[in-house]
Structure 1
Amino acid sequence: MSSLIGTYECKVDAKGRLMLPSAIKKQLLPVLQDGFVLKRAVFQPCLELYPMTEWEALMQKVNKLNRFKKKNNDFIRRFTAGVKVVEVDATGRLLIPKDLVAFADIAKDIVVSSAINIIEIWDKDKYEQAIDDATGDFADLAEEVMGQDDDNDIS
């Protein structure tokens, strides 16, 4: 699957149903029928929506961990805590389970944001705060993460 693109403001209804933005739904069309995995994010108070093929690829990596090492076993348990298989219904809605709504503190207004091969689902206020918090360090972070290789420089 190619990279997903876009950030969209949406609403969830009282039952926790999210209508996927049409632009995201179009991008997910090739994998829509396979279903998705919805889980808690590791580093942020948001949810991550994995197309099933992406989830299975990730689980192949996780499955290589030696489960007889306590830290690996603890990681697997925490990483998969609250994981749910979800499907998009015929009208394009996705039901967010109540425990995951509570984890991400999702109210009515949310942000659906692409993150390369997955989608993040945020409470709108928490998303805005996370973006604001990261603004100051982003230049340094970009240099540290992406600016390490100078292989193309001619000296």
Structure 2
Amino acid sequence: MLTGSHAINMDSKGRMSIPTRIRESLTASCEGRLVLTAHTEERCLLVYPEPAWQEKLPTIERLPMLDPAARRIQRLWIGYATPVEMDGNGRILVPPTLRTYAGLEKKLMLVGLGNKMELWDEERWQELLEEPVTSQISPELQSLTF
């Protein structure tokens, strides 16, 4: 289970360290093999343990090619997908194309979402937190209790 928000830094070469608690979980669940890809709706990256990625991939591949929204999702989600592996120090290298897509600079936020994580530029993350929720609330959310 990937949870929590972690402020981390990325060096000038695009390397970032996975926080220790998450690193241990990822080493156990996927031997440190991850897939980074573009989020299709927001300018951040999705970080999947390789097994979770392999589970989701067939669903996206089966989307109808004649649907423009489906093609966009496939182009971003599959087209940007990049396998990475944690090194001995728990670092991964974020490719330049993905850094550009998500506007990643030095200060980042890694946010756990259960079976995946999001990687945000810290400034964009803070802006997102300050935005009011203005969209219609779906029936699924209306019935949600904590």
Query: For this structure pair, what is the TM-score category when the shorter chain's length is used for normalisation?
Result: 0.7 to 0.9
How many angstroms apart in 1 are the aligned matches of 2:96 and 2:144? 44
Counterpart selection for 1:129 from 121, 127, 132: 127
Q: Which runs of 5+ in 1 are unaligned?
A: 151-155
Amino acid at match of 1:100: L
Matching residue within 6, 10, 13 for 2:8: 10
CA distance in 2, matches of 1:112, 1:74: 25
2:44 touches 2:101 (CA, 8 Å); kept in 1? Answer: yes
Q: Note if 1:148 corresponds to 2:146.
A: no
Distance 2:44 2:72 in 1: 21
* Unaligned runs of at least 5 residues, structure 2: none
* Matched AA of 1:93: R
Q: Quickly say closer, same or farther: Cα 1:149–1:107, change in 2 above 3 A.
A: closer
Q: In angstroms, what is the RMSD of aligned CA positions? A: 2.3
1:115 CA drift (Å): 1.4
Identity, % of aligned pairs?
Answer: 22
- Structure 1 residues 74, 44: closer, same or farther in 2, change over 3 A? closer
Q: TM-score, normalised by structure 1?
A: 0.81
Structure with the greater alpha carbon radius of gyration: 1
How many equivalent residue pairs?
Answer: 143
CA distance in 2, matches of 1:37, 1:77: 15
CA 1:110–1:78 in structure 2 vs 1: closer, same or farther (change >3 Å)?
closer
Q: CA deviation at 1:73?
A: 4.2
Report the equivalent of 1:153: none
TM-score of the superposition, structure 2-length normalised? 0.85
Q: Select the residue among 114, 117, 140 that pairs with 2:115.
A: 117
Structure 1 position 118, deviation (Å): 0.5
What do residues 75-119 of structure 1 show as CA deviations (whole Å, max 9, x unaligned)?
Answer: 422332221111100110010001111111111111011012111
4+ residue stretches of structure 1 with deviation over 6 A? none
